[in-house]
Amino acid sequence: MALHSAEALGEKNPDRPGATDREVYDQVMVPNYAPMTLIPDRGEGSVLWDTDGKSYLDLAAGIAVSALGHAHPALVEALAEQAGKFWHVSNLLTNRPAIGLAQRLIDLTFAERVFFANSGAEVNEAALKLARRHSIEQHGEEKTEIIAFDNSFHGRTFFTVCVGGQQKYSDGFGPKPGDIAHLPFNDVAALGEAVSDRTAAVILEPVQGEGGVNPATPEFIRAARDLCTRHGASLILDEVQTGVGRSGTLFMYEQLGVTPDILTSAKGLGGGFPIGAMMTTAAIAESLQVGTHGSTFGGNPMACAVASRLLDIVADPALLESVREKSALLRGELARLQDQHGAFECIRGTGLLLGAELQGPWRNRARDVLRQCTEEGLLILMAGDNVLRFAPALTIGDDQIRRAVGILGDALVKTADP
Ligand SMILES: *Cc1c(COP(=O)(O)O)cnc(C)c1O
């Protein structure tokens, strides 16, 4: 069924009067995305229905965002309640949901101060700006170097994309912000050589999500912590993808025996409502005085009301325990699939952020497998051309996990010989 807009568009495109919605998309959008053909209509938990009424098991969760699945009643209620009061006042005024959420994050983490924005890139941008400013204030104009890692991903603002470790994403936009070094991930020796008294910050993901579901080794993270402490640099942990329960603890740093100086969270934090939080210590926060940084929408009461309700649910030890159990189940099912078909070189990741690296006839064909899964009613993710990525809602049912891996098995068989 075409939308009304399709007819309106038809006037401008007389050659395509009966265009489908997806065809209209290509006519009206900047061509930076290539979405699948299905168009979602409604969802419930880990199931999504498209506009034709076909259902899909959702192990993509909007790229690790819909932490409680679709249309969770508690989140719908929190949103509706705040929507009936007021939607937005900017940071010229504060609001109770924002204060409450900041207090909650402080109670649940190492942090003493919180800054809100609306996305992962924005909170990483804030973290990098804060780390630079703090370093310059404490140690002088020379101490500005940012150390990041190959294949890392920190967002698409120009600073964050240049800090990210995939040059193809930052090329072609003209002069880049400087004094950013990229090192091989998990290379303790290279890190030891690189961090110096000129380093302002080291930024890393505990598990590189977009970069292929690559976990940092505990030794590597501990080395980063020690080197930052020794050289007066800030350790920024980007938990935009691993945070808010996805790793099996509220934040993954809790499992690693290190405490960051700055922690960023977004994706799952709003369960689908856009919000990001940068968390830090009171001492470092001092470097963002009035007027030094800001966001019109940051701390929006609807986003904060939803995120507070979500944290009430996700921070429950019983829920976190169930994430670890579901992780073991999904891993076990994928391993069983591996025994049957031999499609995976390895299965890695943590909690409900798992990756399966493809081999044999499936090598570099993650996109084909993903397309076939979609065809069969299963939504999954990829992380590069050779890794299937699974990031379901933390509340996905055990039976849904088993069913999903069954569908994946069929899709692997169908894609083995084209
Ligand atoms: C998704 C992601 C980001 C960027 O978040 P946006 O909300 O898309 O700006 C940053 N860091 C990591 C680790 C991510 O996974």
pLDDT of amino acid 18? 74
pLDDT of amino acid 6? 47
Indicate if ligand 1 lies below 6 Å from the C-beta of 209.
Answer: yes
Q: Indicate which atom in ligand 1 lies nearest the CA of residue 209.
A: 15
Residues 6+ apart with CB under 8 A from 26: none
Say which DSSP state 394 is in: T
- Nearest protein CA to atom 11 of ligand 1, as residue: 154
Region for 56 from its dihedrals, namely left if φ exceeds 0, alpha if ψ lies in -120 to 50, beta otherwise = beta
Q: Which one of 152, 210, 382 would you pick to mutate in the ligand 1 pocket, going by the greatest count of ligand atoms within 8 A of its CB?
A: 210
Residue 225: strand, helix, or coil:
helix
Q: How many CA atoms lie within 13 A of 89 on its CB side?
A: 14
- Nearest protein CA to atom 15 of ligand 1, as residue: 241
Kindly give the distance from the C-alpha atom of residue 46 to the centroid of ligand 1, in angstroms, as a whole number.
Answer: 22
User: CA 319, 325, 326, 328: dihedral to nearest 10 degrees?
Assistant: 150
Q: Indicate which atom in ligand 1 lies nearest the CA of residue 267.
A: 7
Indicate if ligand 1 lies below 6 Å from the C-beta of 239.
Answer: no
Q: Which one of 157, 267, 389 would you pick to mutate in the ligand 1 pocket, going by the greatest count of ligand atoms within 8 A of its CB?
A: 267
φ and ψ of 358, to 5 deg = -85, 155
Q: How far apart are CA 281 and CA 233, in angstroms?
A: 14
In the chain, which residues have pLDDT < 70? 1-17, 418
- Nearest protein CA to atom 6 of ligand 1, as residue: 120
Query: 192 to each of 148, 151, 199, 310, how far by Cα in Å?
Result: 13, 19, 12, 39
Helix (H) or strand (E) holding 345: strand 344-350
Kindly give the distance from the C-alpha atom of residue 360 to the centroid of ligand 1, in angstroms, as a whole number.
Answer: 31
pLDDT digits (tens, 9 = 90+) for 176-199: 999 999 999 999 999 999 999 999
Crossing angle of helices 4-12/21-28, nearest 10°? Answer: 50
Residue 388: strand, helix, or coil:
strand
Residue 278 contacts residue 245 (beta carbons within 8 Å): no
**What HEC string does 271-313 produce?**
ECECCEEEEECHHHHCCCCCCCCCCCCCCCHHHHHHHHHHHHH
The DSSP annotation for 35-99 comes to --S--EEEEEBTEEEETTS-EEEESSHHHHT-TT-BT-HHHHHHHHHHHTT-S---TTS--HHHH
Helix (H) or strand (E) holding 400: helix 398-416
Q: Indicate which atom in ligand 1 lies nearest the CA of residue 242.
A: 13
Q: How far apart are CA 171 and CA 164, in angstroms?
A: 12
Indicate if ligand 1 lies below 6 Å from the C-beta of 120.
Answer: yes
Q: How far apart are CA 149 and CA 187, in angstroms?
A: 10
Indicate if ligand 1 lies below 6 Å from the C-beta of 145.
Answer: no
Q: Which one of 32, 65, 152, 153 would you pick to mutate in the ligand 1 pocket, going by the greatest count of ligand atoms within 8 A of its CB?
A: 153
Amino acid at the residue 82? Q
